[in-house]
C-alpha cells in the first residue's frame, strides 16, 4: 500500500482492531447529527459509543474516524466527486466519507475499511458504496497525488481563511499552519484526586507530564476500567492554567461561567474538595446534563447548574455571592 503523504496528512495513532461495522455505523450516525449543528463532536462520540456499548478500543477508533472526517471533509468530497459522478443523498455521502477517510487518510487495512463500511450503509446503497471504495483502493496513488490541487483544497481549509493567512504570514508559513491545524492533538489524562488512590502500578505505562502534577501522556485507547470508575479524566494539561490562576480554596463559593463539558469544573471541584460550592453555567442547555454526569462520575458531587448567556447581565441574586469566578 503506498504510504499516505504525511506532508498533507499527519500521522494518526489508531486503536485496533479495525474490523467492526458498528463503529462505522456510529461514525455515520454521528456525522449526520453533527451536520444539524446542535452538538459538539465530543458529545456525539460519547453518545453513539454509549448507545452501541463500544469498547474503549472501538470508542477510540470512532473518535479517530469522526475527527479525521471532519478535518479533511473538503478533500474527501473532492475525491468523491472524482470517483462517482452525480448527486448523492447526504447519508450516502457520509458513508463514503467514512470509507475514504479510512483508506486514504488513516491507513486502515483496505479489506476492513471497505467491507465494514459497506455493511454500515443501507442495503439499497451497499453496491454503490462497495464500487466507489474499491475504485478508491485501485486509484490510491492518483488520488494522493495532490500536487496540482489548490493548497486550501489539499489541506481542507476554506479559501477565505487560506487567503487571509497567506496575506498575513506568507505562503510557506500558511502551508505549515494548515498542516499543524490538521494534526491530531496529543492525548492526556489526569489522575482524579477525589476518587482515592488508584495505585502507582495503574499508571506505570503512562509517562508523567513534566511540570503538570497528576497528568499523564496517553497513547492508544484509555484504560477503560479506570475511566469508567472515574479514577482518571481525559484532559489536556493546558486546561489547568486558568484554574491555577484562580487558585480556589476549600470553603469558597466559585462560579464557572463557561463550564461544559466540565474539565475546568472538575479541576475547581478538586481544589475545593467537592462541587458543593460550585455554580456551573453554560449558554447551551443541552450541554449541562453531560457536565453533571461527568462531575458525578468523577466523585465530585453535585454542582449547581444554570443556563446563562454571559453577553447579558447576571441575575440580581448572583451579585456579590462568589469568592472567585
Series of mean pLDDT values for 10-residue runs along the chain (325 residues):
43 53 90 85 84 83 93 97 92 96 94 92 92 96 94 97 98 96 89 73 82 87 78 88 93 93 90 93 88 88 92 93 94
- How far lies 19's CA from each of 1, 111, 115, 118, 196, in Å? 18, 9, 9, 12, 37
Residue 5: the pLDDT is 42
Say if residues 302 and 292 touch (Cβ distance below 8 Å): yes
Full DSSP string of 212-232:
-TTEEEE-SS--HHHHHTTSE
Residue 198: the pLDDT is 57
Residue 91: the pLDDT is 94
Residue 167: the pLDDT is 97
- Using CB atoms within 10 Å of the CB of residue 77, give its burial: 0 to 12 exposed, 13 to 18 middle, 19+ buried: middle
Residue 179: the pLDDT is 95
Domain ranges in the chain are 21-148, 150-183, 187-318
For 21-148, the fitting CATH number among 1.10.940.10, 3.40.50.720, 1.20.81.30, 2.40.30.20 is 1.10.940.10
Residue 152: the pLDDT is 97
How do 232-234 and 187-191 pair as beta strands? antiparallel
Task: Give the C-alpha separation, 216 to 236, whole Å.
Answer: 9
- What CATH architecture applies to the domain 187-318? 3-Layer(aba) Sandwich (3.40)
Please confirm whether the linkage preceding 17 is cis (ω < 30° from 0).
Answer: yes
Task: Give the C-alpha separation, 294 to 299, whole Å.
Answer: 9
Task: Give the C-alpha separation, 102 to 207, whole Å.
Answer: 29
Cell of 137: 483502493
Give the chain's length: 325
Amino acid at each position: 500500500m503506498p504510504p499516505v503523504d504525511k506532508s498533507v496528512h499527519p500521522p494518526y495513532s489508531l486503536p485496533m482492531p479495525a474490523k467492526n461495522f458498528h463503529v462505522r455505523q456510529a461514525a455515520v450516525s454521528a456525522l449526520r447529527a453533527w451536520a444539524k449543528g446542535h452538538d459538539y463532536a465530543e458529545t456525539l462520540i460519547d453518545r453513539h459509543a454509549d448507545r452501541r456499548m463500544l469498547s474503549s478500543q472501538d470508542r477510540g477508533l470512532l473518535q479517530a474516524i469522526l475527527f479525521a472526517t471532519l478535518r479533511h471533509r473538503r478533500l474527501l468530497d473532492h475525491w468523491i466527486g472524482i470517483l462517482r459522478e452525480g448527486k448523492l443523498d447526504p447519508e450516502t455521502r457520509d458513508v463514503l466519507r467514512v470509507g475514504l477517510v479510512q483508506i486514504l487518510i488513516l491507513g486502515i487495512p483496505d479489506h476492513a475499511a471497505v467491507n465494514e463500511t459497506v455493511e454500515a450503509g443501507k442495503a439499497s446503497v451497499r453496491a454503490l458504496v462497495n464500487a466507489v471504495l474499491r475504485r478508491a483502493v485501485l486509484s490510491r496513488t492518483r488520488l494522493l497525488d495532490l500536487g496540482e490541487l489548490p493548497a486550501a483544497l489539499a489541506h481542507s481549509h476554506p479559501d477565505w481563511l487560506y487567503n487571509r493567512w497567506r496575506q498575513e504570514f506568507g505562503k510557506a508559513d500558511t502551508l505549515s499552519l494548515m498542516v499543524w491545524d490538521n494534526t491530531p492533538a496529543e492525548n492526556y489524562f489526569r489522575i482524579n484526586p477525589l476518587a482515592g488512590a488508584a495505585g502507582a502500578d495503574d499508571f506505570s505505562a503512562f509517562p508523567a507530564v513534566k511540570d503538570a502534577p497528576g497528568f499523564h501522556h496517553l497513547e492508544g485507547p484509555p484504560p477503560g476500567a479506570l475511566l469508567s470508575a472515574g479514577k482518571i479524566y481525559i484532559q489536556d494539561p493546558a486546561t489547568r492554567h486558568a484554574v491555577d490562576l484562580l487558585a480556589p480554596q476549600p470553603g469558597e463559593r466559585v462560579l464557572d461561567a463557561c463550564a461544559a463539558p466540565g474539565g475546568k469544573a472538575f479541576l475547581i471541584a478538586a481544589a475545593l474538595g467537592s462541587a458543593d460550592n460550585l455554580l456551573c453555567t453554560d449558554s447551551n442547555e443541552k450541554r449541562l446534563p453531560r457536565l453533571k454526569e461527568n462531575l458525578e462520575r468523577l466523585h465530585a458531587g453535585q454542582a449547581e447548574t444554570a443556563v446563562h448567556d454571559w453577553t447579558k447581565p447576571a441575575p440580581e441574586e448572583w451579585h456579590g455571592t462568589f469568592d472567585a469566578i
